Amino acid sequence: KIVYEDDAICVVDKPAGMLSVPGKDNVESVESIMRQRWLQYDGNPIMVHRLDRDTSGLMVVARTLEAYHSLQQQFACRTAAKRYEAVLDGVPAIHEGTISLPLMPDIMDRPRQRVDMEHGKPSVTTYRVVSTQGGRTLVWLYPHTGRTHQLRVHCAHPLGLATPILGDPLYGRGTAAPRMYLHAAELQIVHPTTGQQMKWLSKFI
């Protein structure tokens, strides 16, 4: 779904199950769809950030190199803001706070990430529980860094929320679920051309 589009950027709402960029099997992805969409304009999509295949929600794609560099700088300096919504498989003990657990790839079990206090890269997430019902928890997650699987590990790890995201195939409890319930629900950036502060919201299905 195209949420917003102009000559510099495009904001899309990615469904769960779709890759952000082409994988080994060259299946349909956000990048390949945008490349086909912009073919007549002789423009190539430049991916600013990615969402895991099983994560749904908002992504911004650059249409020009100038827009890409501006957005990259915003993400690097944390002036771009993202809010995720997740349904947790359980109820965490503490309902609001900050998780700081350094992460690195688990070379013995890719694509998993693992917490490593000595060698891991800094990884910080702020969270707030919104509601609980029937042993499930709706939580809002605010990543301050952009490590691979950061939110998934921070929710599941015993030193984090110790409550994995429902349907997470890597870090979950194996509870049957139709999908992984993690959604990029809010995105805020400064438009790279106009300098206007812009915000988009996506409903968590």
Which residues span the domain enclosing 71?
Answer: 2-80
Give the tens place of pLDDT for each residue, 38-64.
Answer: 887 666 899 999 999 999 999 999 999
Give the tens place of pLDDT for each residue, 27-42.
Answer: 899 999 999 888 876 6
In a domain, 202, yes or no: no
How many of the other CB atoms lie within 10 Å of CB of 80? 18
Distance CA 188, CA 196 (A): 11
CATH number, domain at 35? 3.30.2350.10
Question: Residues with catalytic annotation?
Answer: 52
In a domain, 75, yes or no: yes
The count of structural domains within the chain is 2
Give the tens place of pLDDT for each residue, 114-163.
Answer: 999 999 999 999 999 999 999 999 999 999 999 999 999 999 999 999 99
Report pTM: 0.93
Residues 12 and 88 grouped into a single domain? no
Distance CA 103, CA 124 (A): 10
CB neighbours of 101 closer than 8 A, spacing ≥ 6? 115, 120, 123, 153, 154, 157, 159, 160
Residues 24 and 104 grouped into a single domain? no
Q: What is the mean pLDDT of residues 162-185?
A: 96
Closest by CA to 10, choosing from 28, 40, 37, 29, is 37
Residues 24 and 45 grouped into a single domain? yes
pLDDT at 148: 93
